[in-house]
Amino acid sequence: MTFESTAPVVVLRPARTSDVHAIKDLVAPLAERRILISKESVTYFEAIQEFMIAEIDGEIVGCGALHVMWEDLAEIRTLATSDAWRGKGVGRVLVEKLLENARTLGVSRVFCLTFEVDFFVRNGFSVMADQSAVDPAVYSELLRSADEGIAEFLDLARVKPNTLGNTRMIRQL
């Protein structure tokens, strides 16, 4: 007796510039619910090489980015799935791929800023108990970055309006 699997196959691939509109479409409903922050198209184009795309039957159903912050530290950003596919494993496979990419790059810790605490706990992350996750010399270097994600990681006052209610989480690889 044979059984056919009806589970859809999630295909992951690096993002292309032509995916920016789909990324914006995935982020838009989450930004409306204040789960993610909407960004200008130029920001997505500038970071397109950081993004992975999840497709099912040729349809883009998810995205996520890995942004290197320091020698041993990266951030998962803009993790989004379409409403129709939320809760069906798309986010999990994206996180697994982004963590694999982090390992390949030599990163040993991955950070995220999220409202989806339970999801990230299920994926091996824990709430950052120690707000000083980097040594003072690295902290000083990171302060020179104009990147908002690094400011969020450092918990700087200037980004507090963007981070209210979010939880800072980290995973050791």
Give residue-wise pLDDT tens across range 18-53.
999 999 999 999 999 988 988 999 999 999 999 999
The alpha carbon dihedral of 37, 42, 45, 48 has a sign of: negative
Amino acid at 117: V
Domains and CATH numbers, the chain: 11-172 (3.40.630.30)
Residue 141, pLDDT > 90, answer no
pTM equals 0.85
- pLDDT > 70 in the chain, percent: 76
CB neighbour burial string for 15-30, b if at least 16 within 10 angstroms, e if fewer: beeebbebbbebbeeb
